[in-house]
Structure 1
């Protein structure tokens, strides 16, 4: 698969405790993106953050299960990201979704070892 140079970065902000169909929402989103053959997805777990409620979520040792922030990033062609948005809307009850134009400089495996 090849990505166009002018692509879109979809960034999804949710909580670690969010779920969809009995599984973690971030996992369900990544699996759906893979099923739809999007360019790739990465899940990042935040150490601290807050959202709409302004409630602070942190990974401090005394608060181990505090619904830490999760960010999912997906890059692909604009039309493929736009086709994914209604699917994503059906999976999410809350959170934040952003979309921005990016330039893909490299995609795929690195050079082979010699």
Structure 2
């Protein structure tokens, strides 16, 4: 797969302990993105943050927080991101979904021939 030029970045910000049908929400998002054939998805665990609850969650040793912020980031072409955002309506009940216009300089998937790109 080759993706370059104009694209969109989808960022889903949720809590680490958020669940969907007894599994981590971020895992469900990644697996659905994979099933829909999106270019890729990465999950980033935050070390500190707060959201709608205004409670600060932190990974510092003396903190009791186990609900750290998590960001799922997906980059793909606009029509594919738009279709995936509709999937998120069912999944994300509390969190933030951000879509940005981005420019991809190079993406070559597995099995690309030498010198392509």
Q: TM-score, normalised by structure 2?
A: 0.89
Where has structure 1 moved over 2 Å in runs of 4 or more? Answer: 62-66, 108-112
Structure 2 unpaired stretches of 5+ = none
Q: Is the 8 A contact 1:4 1:77 kept in 2?
A: no
Residue number in structure 1 paired with 2:103: 103
Aligned to 1:13: 13
- Give the deviation of 1:87 after TM superposition: 0.7
Q: CA deviation at 1:65?
A: 4.4
Is 1:48 the counterpart of 2:48 in the alignment? yes
**Shift in alpha-carbon separation, 1:68–1:111, aligned structure 2, 3 A:** farther
Residue equivalent to 1:62:
62
1:80 partner SS: helix
Instruction: Compute the RMSD of aligned alpha carbons.
Output: 1.8
1:18 Cα deviation (Å)? 0.3
CA distance in 1 between counterparts of 2:57 and 2:65 reads 9
In the alignment, structure 1 residue 87 sits paired with structure 2 residue 97: no
Q: How many residues align?
A: 112
